[in-house]
Structure 1
C-alpha cells in the first residue's frame, strides 16, 4: 500500500516576538522574547507528517539565501524529501509572529517570497509525484491557481485530497468539489460560509454548509475544543488532549493537518485520523515555535494510549 504524503505549500522563516500585548500604530513597546525558526503552513505540515512516521514530500520554491539553508536543514532533520526549485531573483519567505505572552495566542504576517510565484507549471513538473501520493495536501499561502491545479492532478491520480483553506480566502468555483477533506479553523470556516463558529452547534452548521458547497468531508479545528468531523450527514466531535500548559498556539493547525494526513495515509479511518491529528496538535502547543514543536510518532502514540 502506498503511504506517501505529498504537500504543496510555502516555507517561511518565522520571526517570533513575545510581548504582553501588540503595539499600537506609532508605538514602540519592549518585548519579552524573540525566536527565529522554520515555518510556513505547508512546510510545517510536511514536518509534522514526516515526524509522524510517514514518507513525506514537499513541493515549493526557495531563494538562494540563509533562510533557504534553514529550510533544507529543517527538512533533512525531520525526514522530509524536498521537491523544490531555487531561484536567484527573489527571497525565501519570512513571517512576523506576535505571541501574546499571557495566553500564547498569536497574530501573523506572511511574506512568501519566491514561493508566492509558484505556478501551475511548477505543479505540472511534479505531476507524477502528486498523482502517486496516498494523500495530497495544500493550503492557500501559494497562488490559488497552483493549488487548484494540484488538487485536480491529485484527484485524477486517485490520491486522497486535503485542502487546508488557510489563510482565509474566497475559493474559486469547483475547488471544494476536488476535496476529500477541507480543514478550516473557526475563522476560516466563517469566512467560507458566513457562519460565525463559537460553539459546536455553529461548527456543525458550518460543516453542513461546506458539504453543501461541495466538500466530501469537513474537519473544523476548534483549538482547545478539539475538532469536528462531518461527512455523510453525520458529525463527530473529537476532543483535544490534556497535555499541560499552553506555551504557543502558532503551528497547532499545521500540526493537526500534518498528523491527520499521515494517519490517513497509513489507512486509519477518518475519525481515528482526526483523533491522531488532535493528539499531534495538543503536544505541539506545549512547545515554542512551529516546525520545532512537531512531535514524533512515539510521542503521539504514547499520548493516544494514555487518553
Structure 2
C-alpha cells in the first residue's frame, strides 16, 4: 500500500513581505504583495505528491474563482480530487500572511468553505481510505470531521498522522486514535502545558502525549531540530533528537506542512519513521529558503540532491 489520503483545508494565501512584523496597532508601509496557494491540508498534499506520493485529497471549496484555481493546482500535481466538494454557502478559504525579513511570520485565516467540511464528506470519500497506507490530518477543518476521519482510518487499518495545528483543545477520545502526532513547540506546550526550551522538556511533553494514547510523537523545534519519541506496545519509550539543517531562512510559511507531507510520503513507501526524518527535515530546510507556501515546496530530486550535498 503506497497511497496517501490527506483530508483538510485549502486556502489562497495573500502575502505581504515587510522588514519586520508590525506591533499591535501599528501600520507599516512598503511591503511587497503576492498571492499563493496555501492551506495546511493542500500544502501537505502537494508536499507528499512532490515527494513521490500517490495522493488523494478530501476538502471543501467555495463555488468561486479561488476554488477553481485551488482545485486546478491540486490536479496539476497529480492529486486525486474526487473526494473534494464545492459549496456555494461560503467562499473558498483565504489566509493573510505577514512575512518579516528574518523569515518569521504571522497568519490570520478566514476558513470559509473549509469550515463546511463535514463527517458526511468523510463518509462519502470512505472508498479512498480503503487501501491507503497513511491518512494525514490537521485542525483547520471542524474537529468532528477530523474525528470522523480518524475513526474511518482506524476501520481501514491506515496509519493516522495528526498535525495539531492550529492548536486547540482535543477531546480525550481523539488522541488514542492517532498513530503519530506532529506538534511544533508551541502546539506541544498547548497540548501538554510543558514549555519546551531544551531536549528534556521535549521528552517530557512527548511522554505526556504518550500518556494520552498516542503511539508516536514528533515535536518539530525549528532551528533546534526535531524530537522523535516512540512507545512500544509494552509501554517502553525510546527517544532521539535530530539537529536541524543550517540554512538561511527567508520565509517559514508552510515549513511544517512540508515536513508532514514528506514524512507521510516516506512512511507510505514502508520506510521506518526514524529513517524518514532526514528526508522530511531536508525538505523543510529547502522550503524556508524560498518565499510562499506551495511555491516553496521542493520535489523529490531536489530533496535527494540536498541530502547528498550535506553528506559530502
Q: TM-score range by the shorter chain?
A: over 0.9
Question: Match for residue 175 of structure 1?
Answer: 174
Aligned residues: 304
The answer to whether 1:305 aligns with 2:304 is no
TM-score (norm: length of structure 2): 0.94
1:24 Cα shift? 4.2
Structure 2 partner of 1:289: 292
Structure 2 equivalent of residue 239 of structure 1:
243
Corresponding position of 1:117: 116
- Alignment map for 1:21-100 (pairs within 5 Å): 21-82=20-81, 83-100=83-100
Aligned to 1:260, which of 260, 263, 266?
263
Q: Which moved more, 1:170-179 or 1:63-72?
A: 63-72
1:130–1:154 Cα contact (<8 Å) kept: yes
TM-score by length of 1: 0.96
Preserved contact between residue 245 and residue 285 of structure 2 (Cα < 8 Å)? yes
Give the corresponding residue for 2:251.
248
Distance in 2, Cα, partners of 1:109 & 1:126: 29
Are the aligned partners of 1:239 and 1:278 in contact in 2 as well (CA < 8 Å)? no
Q: CA deviation at 1:17?
A: 1.0
RMSD value, Cα: 1.2
After the TM superposition, which of the residue ranges 18-27 and 157-166 deviates more from structure 2?
18-27
Determine if contact 2:172/2:212 at 8 Å carries over to the other structure. no
**Distance in structure 1 (CA, Å) of the matches to 2:245 and 2:32:** 27
Q: Which shows bigger deviation, 291-300 or 73-82?
A: 73-82
- Cα separation, 2, equivalents of 1:80 and 1:228: 30
In the alignment, the residues of structure 1 paired with residue 243 and residue 24 of structure 2 have an alpha-carbon distance, to the nearest angstrom, of: 38
The residue aligned with 1:228 is 227
Deviation at 1:25, TM superposition (A): 4.6
274-283 vs 37-46, which moves further: 274-283
Any gaps of 5 or more consecutive residues in structure 2? Answer: 232-236
